[in-house]
Amino acid sequence: MSKTKKMMYINRKAPYGTIYAWESLEVVLIGAAFEQDVSLAFMDDGVYQLTKGQDTSGIGMKNFSPTYAALGDFEVNKIYVDKESLEERGLTLDDLQHLVWEDEDEDWAEKDSIHLVSRAELSDVLADQDVLFNF
Amino acid sequence: MLHLVNKSPYDGSNLNTATSIMKSGDTLLLIEDGVYGAVKAGKAASLLEGHTVSVLGPDLAARGITKDKLADGINVVDYAGFVDMVEANDKVQSWL
C-alpha cells in the first residue's frame, strides 16, 4: 500500500458561471473514498461557492451547494477560506454555510470545518501538501 | 446602448471596461457571475457609481444574494424585463 498523501483541492471559481466548482466537488467526493488526507481551500471567487441561501430554481441549473454540508461525513473537515478574498467581496463568515464534522475521538463532538485564514497562513498550508489540485 | 456584463468583477476587467466606456443614457445589465458586482459591500460596487444599473433577479437568487445586499439605486429585473431592455435599446454590447 502506498502511503497516505496530503491532498489539497484549491477552488477559485464562482459556482454557476463555469463548471469548475461542481467538478471539483465531485472529484473531492470521489477522492474521499480513497482515504487520503484531504483538505480544501477556497479563495478568490471560489469563496462564493460556500455562500448560503443559493436558489437556482430560476436559472435551470442544479443547486449543488447543499452538498458541501455532506463533506464532514466523508471526513473532509479541513476547509480553509481565504479572509482577504471574503473581505474584497464584502462577505463575512456569516454569509457562508456553517459546515461541521463530528469528531469520533471526542464522543462525536461537532466541530467547525471552516477555518478562516490569512494569505500567510494559507501559504503555509499549501507548502505542507504533497499534491495540489486546481479548480 | 445596453451593456451586458456576465463575468465576476473580481475575476477579470469586464465590469471596469464596461463602466469606463458607458455614456450617459446607456444602461448596464449585470447577469450570470456579473451580478456579484452589484453587492454593496464589495469593492467593485464603486465602479457602478453614476451609472444606470439593472441586475437579473434569477442570477442573484442562484448565488444567494438578497436584495438588501445590493448597492443603492440598482433595479432588479426578471427575464421578461431583460427582453424589454434589449427592445428599448438600439444596440446591445456584451462584454464577454
Per-residue pLDDT tens for A25-50?
999 999 888 888 999 999 999 999 99
Q: Please tell me which of the candidates A54, A90, A95 has its beta carbon nearest to residue B62.
A: A54
Question: At residue A126, what are phi and psi to the nearest 5 degrees?
Answer: -60, -40
Sole residue written with cell 481551500: A41
pLDDT-derived band at B91, boundaries 50, 70, 90? very high
Domain B2-95 part of CATH 3.90.1150.10: no
**pLDDT in the model for residue A32:** 85
* Chain B nearest-CA residue for A64: B62
Residue A33 is assigned to a structural domain of this protein: yes
Contact A14 B6 (CB under 8 A): no
Amino acid identity for residue B68 in this structure: D
Domain count within chain A: 1
**What local confidence, expressed as pLDDT, does residue A2 receive?**
67
Mean pLDDT of A78-102: 98
Task: State the amino acid at position A65 in one-letter form.
Answer: S
C-alpha triplet A123, A16, A28: angle, nearest 5°: 50
pLDDT of A125 reads 97
Task: For residue A39, tell me if it sits in a domain.
Answer: yes
Mean pLDDT of A92-103: 97
Chain mean pLDDT for chain B: 97
* Burial category of B49 from C-beta neighbours within 10 Å (exposed 0-12, middle 13-18, buried 19 and up): exposed
Instruction: For residues A56-80, give the mean pLDDT.
Output: 97
- Over 80: is that where the pLDDT of B80 sits? yes
- Its domain, for residue A94, covers 6-134
Could you tell me the CATH number of the domain that includes residue A121? 3.40.1260.10
Cα Rg of chain B, angstroms: 12
Q: Tell me the pTM.
A: 0.94
Give the pLDDT confidence score for residue A113 in this predicted structure. 97
Specify the pLDDT at position A33.
85
- Residue that has been written with the C-alpha cell 484549491 in this structure: A10
Residue B50 banded pLDDT, cuts 50, 70, 90: very high
A58 in a domain, yes or no? Answer: yes
Residue predicted with more confidence, A35 or B74: B74
DSSP state of A21: H
A1 pLDDT above the threshold of 60: no
Mean pLDDT for chain A overall: 96
pLDDT at B66 over 60: yes
How many angstroms away from the CA of A80 is the closest CA of chain B? 19
What are the chain A neighbours of B41 within 8 Å (beta carbons)?
89-91
**How is chain B split into domains, by residue range?**
2-95
CA of residue A15 relative to chain centroid, distance: 12
The pLDDT of residue A93 is above 70: yes
End-to-end alpha carbon distance in chain A: 28
